[in-house]
Structure 1
Amino acid sequence: MNQLDNYPEVLDVVHIQRILGIGRRQAYKLATSGSFHTVRIGSRIKISKTVFIKWLQGDNSYEHSANL
């Protein structure tokens, strides 16, 4: 079983932090960088696991479409 299978379909920044093995500040900076689609709910940032995995695998299609 893949390590990412253990995570929910909608990730929090803390999940990104754990998956990548980075600090909290770096995880928030990444989540707010515009590299992939995120949704803000109040002060919380949510990321689709599918979108995150595509970004992790090098699919920058969101980044390119966001700059149009």
Structure 2
Amino acid sequence: MESKIEDLPDILEVDDIRSYLGISKTAAYNLVKSGEFHVVKVGRIFRIPKKSFQTWLQGND
């Protein structure tokens, strides 16, 4: 079953991105740390607004 972006929560975790893109945990953390989209770091935890991730995924600035 293919997941849809609409099914993801409004605030993503690294594992949500890993699962959605079908990439490794290391690759997901590297992507989150790359600065390609807005990330909020709370302590040691990364949170990513779905809208920011979706904009990046669609190639929009």
Q: How high is the sequence identity, in percent, across the aligned residues?
A: 39
Equivalent AA in structure 2 for residue 35 of structure 1: E
Quote the Cα distance in structure 1 between the aligned partners of 2:27 and 2:39. Answer: 16
TM-score normalized with structure 1 length: 0.82
Match of 1:36 in 2: 37
Match of 1:19 in 2: 20
Quote the Cα distance in structure 2 between the aligned partners of 1:5 and 1:21. Answer: 17
Aligned residue pair count: 59
Equivalent AA in structure 1 for residue 47 of structure 2: K
Task: Note if 1:48 corresponds to 2:34.
Answer: no
- For the pair shown, which has the larger CA radius of gyration, 1 or 2? 1
Cα displacement string for residues 3-51 of structure 1 (whole angstroms, at most 9, x for unaligned residues): 1122110000000001100000000000000011100001100001011
Runs of 4 or more, structure 1, over 3 Å off, are none
Equivalent AA in structure 1 for residue 28 of structure 2: A
